Amino acid sequence: MIHARLGLAALALLTLAGGCKGPLDRSLDDLIAKRSGEIEAQTPRSVATIGRDGGREGTMDRVPPTSNPSADDLRYQPATEAEDMATKLAAYAAADSESSAAEAMAITFEGALRLAQESGRDFRSAEETYVLSAIRLLIERHQWSPRLFNDTSFSLDGAADGGNFDHTLSIINTLRVTQRLPFGGSVEARWIARATDQLRENATEGYTSSSDLVLSGNVPLLRGFGSVARESRVQAERDLVYAARTFERFRRSLLVDVAADYFDLLTTRARIVNQVRDLKTQQRRNEETISKVTAGRLDPFQRDITANAVRQSEARLANLRESYIFQLERFKIRLGLDPATPIRIAELEFDLSPPSMEPDEAAFLALEYRLDLQNERDQLLDTQRQIANARNDLLPDLDLDASIGTGSDPDNTTGGFTLDPNEMDYAVSLNLGLPLDRTTERLNLRSALIRRDRAQRDYEQTRDNIVISARQAVRQIDLARFQLELAEEQIEINRRGLRALELRDDADPQSILDRQDALLNAENSRDQNRTDLRNSILDYLLQTGQLRVSEGGTFRPLPGMSTTPIEPATTPDATAGTLTDDVNP
């Protein structure tokens, strides 16, 4: 019966210890929300969706299967000369066309930004990195909280005596709680219960039990004493702040990257529209040239010039369509979508107004607001603290050990779990270790000093690079605005020149083609410069630390920042051509 009670008591204590745990997911959510809130940043999704346990299928296979057939088992189908490459390429464009699939998912600018956070792989990895930092801090905090342990051991001993064996069954249960001290060392309380039964004796003669309650502690007085004892806790707390800043910085960088991809898709599509319009013009001009050659008004070689221009325009259109398909598929991967999912890129509905800012003002804002610079600045302070910790390791070891305990009455061998205050003992010791060999510690100190100097240089270099980037961001906005104005002027100049040549009956076809190419290049430059301006505005906000992202991942305009609506008539698709417009050669 005593044995059963002892086992049940141990099991109950184990259950109680396990039941003291709180919901870890909630603790992680609260910790991350607190750290993100302290820096005015958004929190990732609930940690309950991160790090789920997956299946184990195939994980225990000693020889995982490999698919690598021999050359004889493979087949290669050679292409035939009869294949019409133009038709084949047109089929590729039609299969991936955003206007060919009625079930295509419409992706707006804000929708793309949301998808990048909801299903993007890069965002998921950044979330997990943040959560891992929070987990490390919770583990560290747990190490500094009271920790409860229960150990139960069962042993059976036997000894021969005159050909007969004496069997002894022993059960020892130790319940202990430990606590680390903030200035170094730890304290521990132990309750030890022992029960022994001589199996060949009767219950009253062979059974004994005893109990002990012990309180002990160990405190360093020199080496390891003070703030150095809390180094792991302090660093874990600071690391979570760094992780929160890094995660928020990533969200902003992700918005800029996704926006750049979105703008590039619009630019490529606009170039396709321009190229389709150019090809139709070249075809019409080729027909006019053929008519003039037939009438004897132009030399026959002029027909070859215009026919060659048509072929060149067709080749450029095929290249642009292939580039668009590739960009679109890469964009799906960035958003975490299946590459086979049909999507439709919507036109941008607004433009951002460029800021009025001087380069030095932008540099000042960047030094004030950039989260990555704040991380490097605080990590430089970490290296200073590590130097102090390394110097502490050079001190002698002087440790104070103390313990006090009481046990059950030795005269009452079957009294169960009883303690006798008269059976008390204590022990105090002071241990001194002279620093006769501190070579490793001195080298560690030198390493800490070198790391501090390196961190100082890295911080200064990062600071200077941020200043340069912020200044350049302002200049890039002005440059993009200037180039956009020049492109608009070039379009008008080339349009006037082209109209003047077309009105002349004796105009040289080559001159007309040159002017048409100049117009096409100006239109493409205008579309690219418009994209460059949009990217430069977002990059300016990112480089100066002013970019703000909503919880859903969309762009948050700053007070005073106006968004200019884009009229549908000014979009490329509204004027002429689409990705899959049929153009008869």
List the domain boundaries for the chain. Answer: 1-38+148-181+186-219+403-437, 85-130+233-378+452-575
Question: Which residues does residue 375 pair with via DSSP β-bridges, in sequence order?
Answer: none
Q: Nearest CA to 415 among 212, 209, 206?
A: 209
pLDDT at 197: 75
235-257 per-residue burial string, b: 16 or more CB within 10 A, e: under 16:
bbebbbbbbbbbbbbbbbbbbbe
**Distance in angstroms (rounded) separating the CA atoms of residues 382 and 366:** 22
Element (H, E) at 213: strand 207-220
pLDDT at 573: 40
pLDDT at 491: 94
Q: pLDDT tens per residue, the chain (585 residues)?
A: 344 444 434 444 444 444 443 467 788 888 888 888 888 887 776 666 777 666 667 677 788 888 888 888 888 878 777 666 777 677 766 665 544 556 788 899 999 999 999 999 999 999 999 999 999 999 999 999 999 999 999 998 877 666 666 778 889 999 999 999 999 999 999 998 888 876 655 545 567 778 889 999 999 999 999 999 999 999 999 999 999 999 999 999 999 999 999 999 999 999 999 999 999 999 998 888 888 888 888 788 888 888 898 999 999 999 999 999 999 999 999 999 998 888 989 998 888 889 999 999 999 999 999 999 999 999 999 999 999 999 999 999 999 999 999 887 766 666 556 667 777 899 999 999 999 999 999 999 999 999 999 999 999 999 999 999 999 999 999 999 999 999 999 999 999 998 888 888 777 888 888 899 999 999 999 999 999 999 999 999 999 999 999 988 999 999 988 777 776 544 444 333 444 554 433
Q: Nearest CA to 330 among 279, 281, 257, 397?
A: 257
CB 179 within 8 A of CB 186: yes
Residue type, 422: N
**Distance in angstroms (rounded) separating the CA atoms of residues 290 and 284:** 10
pLDDT at 54: 63
Decide yes or no: CATH 1.20.1600.10 for domain 85-130+233-378+452-575: yes
CB 206 within 8 A of CB 183: no
Element (H, E) at 352: strand 350-352
CB 276 within 8 A of CB 97: no
CB 465 within 8 A of CB 407: no
Residue type, 372: D
pLDDT at 349: 82
pLDDT at 193: 87
Q: How many residues belong to the chain?
A: 585
**Distance in angstroms (rounded) separating the CA atoms of residues 99 and 582:** 13
Instruction: Give, rounded to a whole angstrom, the gap between the first and last alpha carbons of the chain.
Output: 100
**Distance in angstroms (rounded) separating the CA atoms of residues 261 and 329:** 11
Instruction: Tell me whether residue 138 is exposed, middle or buried, using C-beta atoms within 10 angstroms of its C-beta: 0 to 12, 13 to 18, 19 or more.
Output: middle
CB 415 within 8 A of CB 209: yes
